[in-house]
Amino acid sequence: MKDDCIFCKIIKKESPSNIVYEDSNVFAFRDIQPQAKHHILVIPKKHIPTITDIESNDVYGQIFSAIKKIAKQEGMEKGGYRVCINNGPDAGQTVFHVHFHVIGGEKISDKMA
């Protein structure tokens, strides 16, 4: 945990969030500026700044297992959804705690950028 990280504060419930899912390794909550009907941020509980800093592939397994459950829970399984990561400043990463955007619940733009 990093004291000045907003997502660490959300995990610790020191900052409010709209929680969607939680297990021992993964936390998920609704984005405050949703880009579609459903816009959920799925994050490792461990503070890792960027995907470049991920040292164990276990993190990906844990995250994608959670995403699958969340998609079912949110009713996005059938229609599909987008999973994206902004990695680093050039890609628009603004919060330096790894997060996977899960976006769907309606037809979304086919443009990636």
Of 24, 52, 57, 94, which one interacts with ligand AMP (CB under 6 A)?
94
Q: With left for phi above 0 and alpha for psi between -120 and 50, is residue 36 left, alpha or beta?
A: beta
Q: Is 92 in the site for ligand AMP (CB under 6 A)?
A: yes
Of 6, 51, 54, 83, which one interacts with ligand AMP (CB under 6 A)?
6
The three-point CA angle 61-57-36 to 5° equals 50
Q: Is 31 in the site for ligand AMP (CB under 6 A)?
A: yes
Query: By the 8 A CB rule, do 69 and 35 touch?
Result: no
Q: Which residues here bind ligand AMP, judged by CB under 6 A?
A: 6, 17, 31-33, 41, 86, 92-95
Q: Which residues are identified as catalytic?
A: 99
